[in-house]
Structure 1
Amino acid sequence: MHTIKRIDPRRPFSITAEGLKRITLGFVGVAGDIHAGALGGHREQVKPRRTTTTTQRTLLVAAHSDRGSLDDHARQTLAAAALLADSTTQVVLLVLGELKDDAATLGADKVIEMPAFDRRAFAPNAALDALAACVGAYSPAHVFLPDNATGDGDLGRRYAAQARASVAAQVIEIDAAHVAVYAHARKAFAVRSLPDVILLAPNAVDARLPFVGAGERVAAEQFFADGHPDTSPYKDLGIEEIDAAQVALEEADFIVSAGNGVTDVPAFERLASTVGAAIGASRVAVDDGKFPRDKQIGATGKTVDASLYIAFGISGAVQHLQGIKDCRHVIAVNLDASAPIAKRANLTIIGDAQETIAALTEAAAAARNARANPGAMAASGGAASSTAKLEGALA
């Protein structure tokens, strides 16, 4: 059964491959394909190229990558450009960082990868110079960026100010003729024609496309033929590392969560400390007094959007699933293969939560020691021993 993703009722539409939709179905395709996917088949049809005609126009998308991948917001922004592009328009993607994703599948015709950039580093002038260089090379009709708080939104505003370009921020509706944003304390919408710079709000676009782009890689060196001197007046002081347990669950990128199946709470907390994850819990575990109320995840607790969420011994009541609906990757550890959380999880490990916690803790500790002292670990064989135990626990 495919759930229906319902969008904020105050938001007019979301753009998809089939046009503007208020309610976006969870699958784009014909009924036969849906049934095949529901049965776990691998009969996905080969998607056609969006265009093969001569390029006369360009749409430029810029975004930072994170560990070699674009996040959901950046993918939605790229999809917006691809959906608005006509047959004579190419979509160029500027990636500030390394890109391991298949750019063609995401809708890009050309990809400019600049791996020297790090999303964790603060280099606004360098990013602005890179974007300006790409704009100068391709003269795009419009520039798209995700309007986030991790650098892209700031970059778009800096570029618009420098180039004296028209800009629309937090765009919640877009088509080939207009953009719309909230106005008057979200009680109304302001509409205008497409500006030079479009900063897209999250979830305004369905990132799944019925076509692919060319995915051609373009060397970044050509944009800085004379080198790229660092003339930034800003000094990056680095990132202050704090204990993951002190991070608010709403802001955590990696969460391990315990349910009724976790009986050894100290061992679970040691795992969280070893892997550097924030701690969450199900309502049942909180009601049993194992964790404080501020650790509860679900409809009556916290809603999280971590990149990785590992649930130990959580069956997955509908209230808990509502709290993790925005998590990118979910791993479930449960003895019951038919538990509701298994339907939500990207990976389900059928096994005892306590044994898996112990094996993961040992393997993570061994891996950390191996990085710190590779010679000693190789001699003792500790890493191999931990890996074997982990594989046994996950079997």
Structure 2
Amino acid sequence: MNTIKRIDPRRPFIVTAEGLKRITLGEIGDGGDVQAFAHGGHKSDVKPRRTTKPARRSMLVAAHTDRGALDDHARQALAAAALLADDETEVVLIAFGAFSDDAASLGADRYIALDAFDRRRYAPDEELRALAACVAAFAPAHVFMPDNATGDGDLGRRYAAQADASIATNIVEIDASHVASYAHAGRAFATRALADVMLLAPNAVDAKLPFVGAGERVASEGIVPASTESAYVDLGIEEMDAAQVALEEADFIISAGNGVSDIPAFEALASTLGAAIGASRVAVDDGKFTRDKQIGATGKTVEASVYIAFGISGAVQHLQGIKDCRHVIAVNLDASAPIAKRANLTIVADTQETIKALTDAAAAARAARASGASIVETSLAEGAFA
């Protein structure tokens, strides 16, 4: 007689930090009673506060947000400050842009959200004044920033030049006594003591922390000066057709697999959503897409913030190509497909029906937005001539 018991997939589950469902062992449920696990072993996962002592010193982390959140690179810079801080040092985050992340779980003890700034707005003088004001207010031992090409690296260098501060760039290794960077085209390793301003390369630090910060919000009034007239004129961002963006640089990708039969409808959805187009190897081999659209170990590796896979089962080679994507959504009739294990959200539905529904919903949302904008413009025009 077979005495092996099958794990009930309807057991209560928890959602991990990666957004994946994990069945809670030792609990019995009837279809995902998510309240049942709250009183189980999950309590032990609560992380302790890094420190509860009064702060005598501070470390400052500055980074731009994207749609209210810090990207992985910025989280790593914040983690570096939190790991180097002792029990009498607080970690202060200066978020340039709207901020809706959990500051405590990211390791920040206090944070200031500067909603007036945004990655899409070019205001270097105002950002420099804001950063300098925050440094003057908190007098940090060090300033940490991600060394990227989307504003933070430029801002860090501008501040160091203005304040005549020491700076270390493209840091790939850091501890309490030194930082290190590659030199001579990667053939040498340069080290130095900690600098006033430290710009970290991607993946220099693991962003996952064993503790949390206090996460207290600080009002920017009285710290950050009011906006003044800038010597720069922001001409805005030139919009580019998503289909012309290289997949390696695309932030939003929808990808088709063997389950997509209506290619024109799929391309219409990509156009409506403003997403770049990718494909699985099977879809490329079938001649549905050109080889430059192939994603996977034998194609291209992508790092999109949002990746939607339509009708892709998720072979190992394809999963390697999307391992660095932040949010993965899978649309597939097979709930047990390998890609469902990687996906943050799996939609078990017909691919073509889902494509049509998304296209209709996106088109309706755009029409409503355009209609609302027209009403506002008309009201303003009528008010001007009243």
Structure 1 length-normalised TM: 0.83
Gaps of 5+ in 2: 1-15, 28-33, 375-386
Q: Which residue of the partner structure matches residue 115 of structure 2?
A: 115
The 3-state SS of whatever aligns with 2:346 is strand
Q: Which residue of the partner structure matches residue 187 of structure 2?
A: 187
The 3-state SS of whatever aligns with 1:92 is strand
Task: State how far apart, in whole Å, the 2-side matches of 1:125 and 1:109 are.
Answer: 27
The 3-state SS of whatever aligns with 1:93 is strand
CA distance 1:149–1:362, shift in 2 (3 Å): same
Q: Which residue of the partner structure matches residue 215 of structure 1?
A: 215
| TM superposition shift of 1:277 | 0.5
Are 1:337 and 2:341 an aligned pair? no
Name segments (4+ residues, structure 1) moved above 4 Å: 34-42
Q: Which of the numbers 270, 273, 276 marks the counterpart of 1:275?
A: 273
| TM superposition shift of 1:370 | 1.4
Q: Which residue of the partner structure matches residue 75 of structure 1?
A: 75
Q: Which residue of the partner structure matches residue 304 of structure 1?
A: 302
- 1:113-160 CA-to-partner distances (Å, cap 9, x unmatched) read 110001111111111111100111111100000001100001111111
Are 1:326 and 2:324 an aligned pair? yes
- 1:197-256 CA-to-partner distances (Å, cap 9, x unmatched) read 11011111111111111111111111146x3312x2221110111211111111111100
The 3-state SS of whatever aligns with 1:321 is helix
Kindly, what percent of the aligned residue pairs are identical? 73
Aligned pairs for 1:15-54 within 5 A: 43=42, 45-54=45-54
CA distance 1:346–1:35, shift in 2 (3 Å): closer
- Residue identity in the other structure for 2:268: R
Q: Which residue of the partner structure matches residue 392 of structure 1?
A: none
| TM superposition shift of 1:305 | 0.5
| TM superposition shift of 1:293 | 0.7
- 1:145-199 CA-to-partner distances (Å, cap 9, x unmatched) read 0001100001111111111111111101111111111112112211111111110
Task: State how far apart, in whole Å, the 2-side matches of 1:322 and 1:177 are.
Answer: 36
- 1:81-107 CA-to-partner distances (Å, cap 9, x unmatched) read 001100000000001111001101111
Task: State how far apart, in whole Å, the 2-side matches of 1:235 and 1:54 are.
Answer: 44
The 3-state SS of whatever aligns with 2:159 is helix
The 3-state SS of whatever aligns with 1:190 is strand
Q: Which residue of the partner structure matches residue 227 of structure 2?
A: 228
Are 1:142 and 2:145 an aligned pair? no
CA distance 1:38–1:210, shift in 2 (3 Å): farther
Task: State how far apart, in whole Å, the 2-side matches of 1:78 and 1:92 are.
Answer: 9
Q: Which residue of the partner structure matches residue 379 of structure 1?
A: none
- 1:293-326 CA-to-partner distances (Å, cap 9, x unmatched) read 1111111111111110000000111111111111
Task: State how far apart, in whole Å, the 1-side matches of 2:250 and 2:206 are.
Answer: 25
- Residue identity in the other structure for 2:57: R
Task: State how far apart, in whole Å, the 1-side matches of 2:321 and 2:114 are.
Answer: 35
| TM superposition shift of 1:362 | 0.7
The 3-state SS of whatever aligns with 1:220 is coil
Are 1:198 and 2:173 an aligned pair? no
Q: Which residue of the partner structure matches residue 14 of structure 1?
A: none
Root-mean-square deviation (Å): 2.1
- Residue identity in the other structure for 1:206: D
Q: Which residue of the partner structure matches residue 155 of structure 2?
A: 155
- Residue identity in the other structure for 1:127: E
| Mapped contact 2:134–2:224 kept (Cα < 8 A) | no
Q: Which residue of the partner structure matches residue 380 of structure 2?
A: none
Q: Which residue of the partner structure matches residue 173 of structure 2?
A: 173
CA distance 1:189–1:277, shift in 2 (3 Å): same
Q: Which of the numbers 241, 244, 247 marks the counterpart of 2:242?
A: 244
| Mapped contact 2:310–2:351 kept (Cα < 8 A) | yes
Task: State how far apart, in whole Å, the 1-side matches of 2:98 and 2:326 are.
Answer: 19
The 3-state SS of whatever aligns with 2:221 is helix
Task: State how far apart, in whole Å, the 2-side matches of 1:36 and 1:365 are.
Answer: 40
| TM superposition shift of 1:36 | 5.4
| Structure index of larger Rg | 2
Task: State how far apart, in whole Å, the 2-side matches of 1:184 and 1:145 are.
Answer: 23
Task: State how far apart, in whole Å, the 1-side matches of 2:292 and 2:227 are.
Answer: 47
The 3-state SS of whatever aligns with 2:223 is helix
CA distance 1:209–1:35, shift in 2 (3 Å): farther
Q: Which residue of the partner structure matches residue 370 of structure 1?
A: 368
Structure 2 length-normalised TM: 0.85
The 3-state SS of whatever aligns with 2:260 is coil
Task: State how far apart, in whole Å, the 2-side matches of 1:357 and 1:37 are.
Answer: 36
- 1:253-309 CA-to-partner distances (Å, cap 9, x unmatched) read 110000000000000001001111110000110010000111111111111111100
Task: State how far apart, in whole Å, the 2-side matches of 1:363 and 1:354 are.
Answer: 14
Q: Which residue of the partner structure matches residue 11 of structure 1?
A: none
Gaps of 5+ in 1: 1-26, 29-33, 377-395
Task: State how far apart, in whole Å, the 1-side matches of 2:159 and 2:372 are.
Answer: 45
The 3-state SS of whatever aligns with 2:202 is coil
- Residue identity in the other structure for 1:228: S
| Mapped contact 2:107–2:211 kept (Cα < 8 A) | yes
